[in-house]
Every structure is written in C-alpha cells, then in structure tokens.
Structure 1
C-alpha cells in the first residue's frame, strides 16, 4: 500500500431487499462510485431526488490514477460543496513548460487573466478526490451508497431499468426509473447491453512512477521531448499532494510491461532524471497504453452513460475525469426537469448531443497530442523535432508544439438549446459558452459570480445603480419566478440595492461588466449548469420565456 495515504474500508451493509426478502426500487440508481458517479449522485441528491449509488468495491481508487483537475471541474465541485478541501489539499498551478533536449522551447499559462476564484489546474491524487466526494455524499440524507454491491444484470424497458445485484449475502432485484452508468472504461453494463464503443488504441506504452521526495521544483507542469536522461522518448512531471511527484516515461510499444514495472528497472530511470544524490521512495508504479473512443450515443432509453463508460481519451491533457464530471453537470439538471414533468424526455437527447460534441472535441485534441508526442513514422518525428527546434525563437512554431492540450470546457455554440443573438456583443460569452467567473459582492457574502449562479435558470440583468431600477423592469423580473419553469432574476450593478424580491449582485471590480460586455439593460439567461442560453440588450419578458422554453425542449 501507499506510505502517504491510508485507504479507508467502507462497511458493507446487508441490503433491506435481502433482509426482508423483497424487490427494491429507487427513482435514480447510479452504478460506479468513482469521481463521476459520486458527482452525479451528489448533484441529484442536492436537488432533492432520492438516489442509490452502487459500487462493487469497498474503498477508493487504488493508486493515484487521475491527477489533474481543471478550473471548470473545480467550479462544478464548488457547486457540489466540496472543492475547497480539494484545492487546499492539492497543488495549484497555471504554468506549463515544454523542453526539447536541454532547452525550454515553449510555455503557457492556463489562467492569464486576473480575478478568477479557481486556478487553471490542481494536482491531487484521485483517492483524495474520491474520499472528499464520499464524505460530502454521506452528508446528504436522500443519498444511499451501497459498497460491495455488484451489478450482474440489467434489463431495461420503456418505463424503467431492472437490475440484478450480487452481494456477500446473495443477490437481489432492484428497479430504477433512471439508471446512470458510471462503471468505467470497461463498463460491464455497456457490455451486458451489447452497446457499441468505437475508436482506436495507440501503439505506445508509458510508465507511471509516483515517487515521494522533497524537492523545490516550481508548482508547474514540465514536459520533455528527447531529454538527455531519456533519449528519443518523452517525460512528464507533475507535483501532487504529500510531496508525491508523478513521472510519466514514454517506453515504446515493444516494452514489456511486467519487466518495466520492476523496481530494479524503474529506479535507474528516475535516478538518471533526478541525479544519484536525490533521495526518493517509490510510491506507485504502473504501465499503461491509451485509447480514444466513444459510444455513438450516451442515452439509451432509461439508461444514461457518463464518464469513461461513455468515452475514453489518452491521459495527455487531463480530459478523463474532468470530462466525466462535466458530463454529470450537463445531465443532472435535464434529468431533474424530466423527472419533475417540466420537460419532455427528448431533453435527454440534448445531453447526448452536447456531450458527444464535447467528447469528439476531447478525442480530437487528445489524438493530436498523442500523434505529436509519439510520432508514427521517421518523417513525422523529423517534422516534430524541427518544430521543437524552431519553437524557442519563432512564435509560429510554438503554436504547433503539442505536449497535451489541457482540458477546457466545451463551447456549445451549435446546441439547439441556445437562442441565437439578435444584438451585437463583444467577448466570449456567446450562447452555449461556459460562464466566466468574476469577483462580486452580495448581501449573503458571496464573493464570486459562479458562487451565485447554478442549479436553476437565472436571468442576469445589468443596470449601473440597482436602486434606480425602474418599476416596470422590476415587476417584469419578479414575474419570471412564476413562469412554468421558474427563473430567478438577479440584478447586476455597480452600486445600490434592487427592489424587494430581487437579488442584487455588485460587480466589485467591473469584471462582470467587462467579461460579459454589459451595458445598461443587458440581460443574460443562464442554464443550471452555468452555460449561457441567451442574451439581449433590452429586457423583454416574452423573449426570456421563449428562450427558457427552447432551452428545455418545451418550444
């Protein structure tokens, strides 16, 4: 086991279905208590739904596995009530550096703008992330987690999905109105249902070595092409919590995984990199290959696939868990509206459409990174090395360097849930965009824009002085809460307090106005997952209601 982390062992509890000799039912059943399944369960439970989460194990993930969690993922986890602990424990970073042989040739900053709450990335071992998510989940009374409950059969029909679940006390039957599948890349449930997943496996192998050592390396991502300590291959270095450093060594396709994992073969590689004088302790070693593939659709009637069960990418770019948690962010609000009878089931088709688009974007970027890092021919390698050699002096070459385009949220610009602009705007906050954060002040002490939005439809309406909002606009904004799908009105202002019944958000540094190109009367309709749905230069109640109907497939 690990020297820096003690694995919890979660209790198995005899299910009531076995104790009482009956079948069970829960409105939503989720299979898989990894980061994605836990995020889905917490999100649904926070919104008042009863949720049952099944997992075939009784602890968190073995080995550090996932390492990097992106700014957008942290913003989702903030909404779930557990990001702060992760940020405090993890290693925050924004800068990545790329080296060719002995020279730095390229660097980037994931968060070059000031005044954002969360960093571009944190590095945190996956077992810490899961442990924090489980602690959060256990605070929610309508969320039950059953460990050592292994799903061995699934039978879906038009009204529900029926599961057969194996436990140490025998098997039982459980039905669900909706089944969310988060059981990982090999997804037994996907196999049980005979569903497709298409893509390709890349012909290369990488060694992961997590080592414990004291080093004053900057909290940055370092990537080497053809370094003197590992010629003709690449190496990646990340610092994690507890003075654990993740080192990835490219090995080549012909490497023997079992031989490469042996300490007598790993330690010389690390010493060649760090020097003989650096003391370190091996924490975790594994060898992996990688693949890029996805299902054709993520929703199949009453069965919904998320995370690695739906799509997989190579680890360069930190797109695995980040993308999976963003799947749940997209899915949960739509499922809640469908279950509440406020939206048709076709809204779930847009979950698949939007997240398939995001998966394709991730696969494209991941494939390009992999092709650059592991050239498939001598000609490709010559081109790659020429680009790296030119990158130190020439900006055009820097744009071609690809050591892993890092995870960013998708701009869903072509989503059918958007209402197209009818007015002219500047900036990036187009319909379909994930919202930019900014510092604010509110009566309840909220300090960040994304801390004030989410989980429901909201309309941000800008006026310089909230206290001077005209009576007609105030009445119109109050009326939105009584719409078939309620919309919370928020007045964004530089000063003042809005009339009774309206929330006031003070743009403390002018960043909201700047990032959203706000002028007096500008309004933004934002979705429960903090994506822009529509925007206008003037408030029109009919337009807002039409945009909400479009964003919920009620149009």
Structure 2
C-alpha cells in the first residue's frame, strides 16, 4: 500500500498574540536534518523552536540509504530501533558491466557491531519517526505551516507567515536546515560554489512482488554499467520496505525532464529493467548531478546545516548521511556555547564540516566522472578498468559507482600513538564493540569521556569508562599494546589517545577540545 501522507497538526503560535521571549535556537526546516538537530540539542538540554512551511513529510522516497554512522546517531535520538525494524538491511553490493557481474563487495565483513552497514528506508519514514519523537519532546516546539519570509543574520530575528497571519521570532542562533533550495540562503544573498555535471538521471520507485524483482528478494545494491536493458548508460537498483524498489536510470544531458517523468515514458523503461509489467509506479523524479557548497557555513547568528550548506550527486548516499554528520558535529558545540562556552567551537563546526563537505564532493565528483565519461579516452579507460576488475582484485578499488558514505576523519587532532589501531585514530568516530550486555559506543556520548583500557585514567574532571577488554575492544582500540587511554568527544569522535596516563597531556587535550581545537 502507498504511504499515507497524513498532515501534522497546525497550532496557532504564541507570537501572534504577544511578543515571544528570545529563544536560544530556532531551526528552519523540519526534514531529517532539522528534526535531528532539535532532538540532539534536547539531548544536551537546549530547547529549540522548529518552523516549517509544510505540514506533511517529504513526498517520495528521496534519501533511502542510511549508513551505520547515521544509525548510531539515530540511536541517540531514539529512532534507531524503529528504523532498523522497518528498513531493509544490506551490506553487499554487486557491480555489473553489461549483463556480466564484474565483482561484489561486503561493506561490513566482520561481526560484533550493533548496527548494520546500511539500512534502506524511505525518507518519509525517517521524517515521521523523528517528528513523532520531536512532538513528544518537551524541549522541542515544532510548528508546521510557519514559513520564514525574512531573516536578519546579525540580530537573529525571523519574520514568519502563518495561516493566521505574520509574527516575529528572535534567537541567539538560527539553524538553516531548509534544504538544497534553501530560502534562507537566498534571503542572505549567499550562493553555492561548485560544479553542475552535464548529466541527468531518472529516479523511479515501483511497487512489485518481491519474487519478481531482479535478483529476487535479496537485499543488495545492484549497479550496472551499460546494461543490455539500458544500452550505453548506467542503472542502479535498491530494495526498500513495503515491496518498493528504487531504480535509477541515466538519461543523458539532452533529456527533457518533464517528458521523461511522464508515466507513458517511464513505464516502458522500467519494464525493460524488471522484465515484466506487473508493478505499480509509486514516485518519479529527474535530477541533475550537482556538487557544490557554501564558502562558509556560519554567517553571524545563522548556521547552515545539511543540504542548505552543501549538495552532492546522490550516488554514494552522501546527502542525508552527510547532513546527519553535520548535526552530530554541531549539537554539542552549540549547546556548550549557549552555556557560556568558547565561541571557537562554532568556528570548529565550520572548519570540520567544510572539510567533510569537500571530501564528500570530491568522492561524488569522481564517481560522476567514472559513471559518465567526459571523452572517448575516459570511456576507454573506464571500460578497461571494468574488464580488469572482473579478473584481478587490484583494479576493483578503481571502479567507482559511488563510494558509499563513511564519516570523514577530521584532521589536526592532538596526541597520537601510531602503534595503536588505525580504526580508532584521532579524528575518527570511536568504533563500537560489544561491552557487557550492551555496546560500548552509546556510553561515549553527550559528554567528553576518557576510555581507560588496561590502566587507570587521571582524575581531571572528565567521566571515565573502564570496560572489560573484550577481543573486539582489543582489536579496535589496543592492537598489540597492553594499555591505552582515549579522549572521546561528545559526538563520539576520538580527540586524542595515549599509551600512558600522562595527566598533563590529557588535560591539555581536554582544554583544547572545549576551545574547538580538538
């Protein structure tokens, strides 16, 4: 059955009847990023007002591939269990050239992780789960049918239009989570710097019986270069819940988007992919590849988060997952600043997430170049790489059908010991592992922690966790070392590590963390 796009309730905002007090945070946009931002701030005790000009979730599946890191963030926000239960779990990808499978890959070959490599779940479900959590959270004031018509970046003042008339809000910080076509970005006269690729793709969501899908009901990612059912182009297939399948088809730059979205044009294309006509068309869209970002994400009291700050081509699942990683980075920093902390933390959000956006853009642009060669020479190189990849393992990393989303490793972090495992190096998200009857990573959240392994941590006013050293913890944190101490940020990113309990060095690293330098 199709998703029920039931509207959320509109409530008359108090600002229509009397001036509202200045709020700590106003979030513009109630998509996955805006709602996640509100819930993450609530985790740190910070109230927020969320305004959105709509009253329903996004129409169409849109972002569907949620990475292991996003699921770990969802766990903090209280929706991970719902997302995994409803979603389609997968970790295997298969790459084809023509009708021949070139190779396959496993994104999470080792066991003992709380969450899978990826879960496919339509964006409307994610928004629904987050909205339900936000509506039940006392620290979140969620206002639908509230459209921002003006913003002052210096004062943090917003002009808002509602069905009952206009009113104003003021905030210490305004978070622009209003998407790729961000009205706030336009109101401030800001523009994206980047590249638009001369290529268009069709997205089609279809509902069909699971035993009639290519590959059967196996939850895998299938990517084809030049398949026989779509000659000279590329195609992608993902399974979603409710017997919905996502099919992406390369169209070429000269394709007319409005023409290509017509059912009488789409349906024959899909029939060639699935080999029959026993399906129902659920949603169709045509998109153009684009990779771009703002020069800066912080503009006085207005902070851009998610697609309002940066956009990437969709292959690789870097859009929605990258936006959640923005939330992950900003939440604890903004809470600290609002509680009197060092403003340098806000600048560190700009620095680190610009770095991450550039990495995502680079990966996305490379994937686009490989999928859509710009010249006959590039096409020849691509085809030779695909031929080699079917025979030799060394060529497989060169095949790029969209490097799948992983959190970046932030640069410039302090104290390190290169003898410790690469998985837990400074700048990386601390790896999860079984611990007791639960998991290690959820314990390393919402506040800085010292993770003491095989030794005692110094008493410097930071919470200490000293878990039993399981085989997984040893492999992911100690390697061949007998002991180590890790400093982990509130967003579960490793800020420093040592093989001895050097109190001075660790205290300096904690001070640097709160100054936005780690």
Question: What is the TM-score when the length of structure 2 is the normalising length?
Answer: 0.96
Measured against aligned partners, the alpha-carbon deviations of 1:466-521 in whole angstroms (never above 9, x if no partner) come to: xxx7xxx4xx65x333xxxxx21111224xxxxxxxxxxxx3xx201111116444
CA shift for structure 1 position 299: 1.1
**CA distance in 2 between partners of 1:530 and 1:451 (Å):** 9
1:512 to 468, 473, 482: 473
Secondary structure of 2:89's match? strand
- Tell me the residue number matched to 1:271: 271
CA distance in 2: counterparts of 1:426 and 1:453, whole angstroms: 18
- Superposed displacement of residue 175, structure 1: 0.3
For 1:328 and 1:377, how far apart are their aligned partners in 2?
A: 39
The 2-side partners of 1:310 and 1:192 are apart by: 14
Q: Quote the residue 1:541 is aligned against.
A: 503
Structure-2 residue corresponding to 1:87: 84
Alignment root-mean-square deviation, CA: 1.5
Query: Is residue 2:261 matched to residue 1:261?
Result: yes
> Contact 1:521–1:539 at 8 Å: present in 2 too?
no
**Structure 2 residue aligned with 1:241:** 241
Q: Secondary structure at the match of 2:364?
A: helix
* 1:104-253 pair list within 5 angstroms: 104-157=101-154, 160-215=155-210, 216-253=216-253
- Counterpart for residue 76 of structure 1: 73
Distance 1:193 1:143 in 2: 26
Divergent runs of 4+, >6 A = none
Deviation per CA, 1:346-388: give whole Å up to 9, x if none. 1111101111111000000000000111111222112211211
Contact 2:103–2:389 (8 Å) recurs in 1:
yes
2:384 pairs, out of 376, 383, 386, with: 386
The correspondence of residues 9-20 of structure 1 with structure 2, limited to 5 A, is: 9-18=7-16, 20=17
* Structure 1 residue 537 displacement after superposition: 1.1
- What pairs with 1:488-503 in structure 2 (closer than 5 Å)? 488-494=463-469
Of 18, 32, 38, the residue aligned with 1:21 is 18
SS of corresponding position for 1:493: coil
Partner of 2:350: 352
| 1:206 counterpart SS class | strand
Q: Please give the alpha-carbon distance, in whole angstroms, between the structure 2 residues aligned to 1:96 and 1:286.
A: 24
- Partner of residue 213, structure 2: none
Structure 1 residue 344 displacement after superposition:
1.3
**Alignment pair present for 1:456 and 2:444:** no
Corresponding residue for residue 57 of structure 1 = 54
Correspondences of 1:422-501 after superposition (within 5 Å)? 424-441=419-436, 445=437, 447-463=438-454, 473=456, 477=458, 479-481=459-461, 487-494=462-469
Ranges in structure 1 where 5+ consecutive residues have no aligned partner? 464-468, 482-486, 495-506
Q: Report if aligned partners of 1:423, 1:536 keep a CA contact under 8 Å in 2.
A: no
2:468 is the alignment partner of 1:522: no
Q: Answer yes or no: is the 8 Å Cα contact 1:28–1:51 preserved in 2.
A: yes
User: Is contact 1:12–1:58 with CA below 8 Å preserved after alignment?
Assistant: yes
> Structure 1 residue aligned with 2:416, among 421, 424, 429?
421
- Can you give the 5+ residue segments of structure 2 that lack an aligned partner in the other structure? 211-215
Structure number with larger C-alpha Rg? 1
SS of the aligned residue for 1:428 comes to helix
Deviations 1:533-554 (A, max 9, x none): 1111121333222111011217
* Aligned equivalents of 2:505, 2:164: Cα separation in 1: 57
| Equivalent pair of 1:455/1:529 in contact (CA under 8 Å) | yes
Cα-to-partner distance string for 1:107-143 (whole Å, 9 max, x where unaligned): 1111112111111111111000100011111221111
Give distance in 2, aligned partners of 1:540 and 1:554: 21
3-state SS of 1:231 partner: coil
Task: Pick closer, same or farther for the CA change 1:377–1:166 going to 2, 3 Å.
Answer: same
Measured in 2, the distance between the counterparts of 1:5 and 1:318 equals 22
With the length of structure 1 as denominator, give the TM-score of the two structures.
0.90
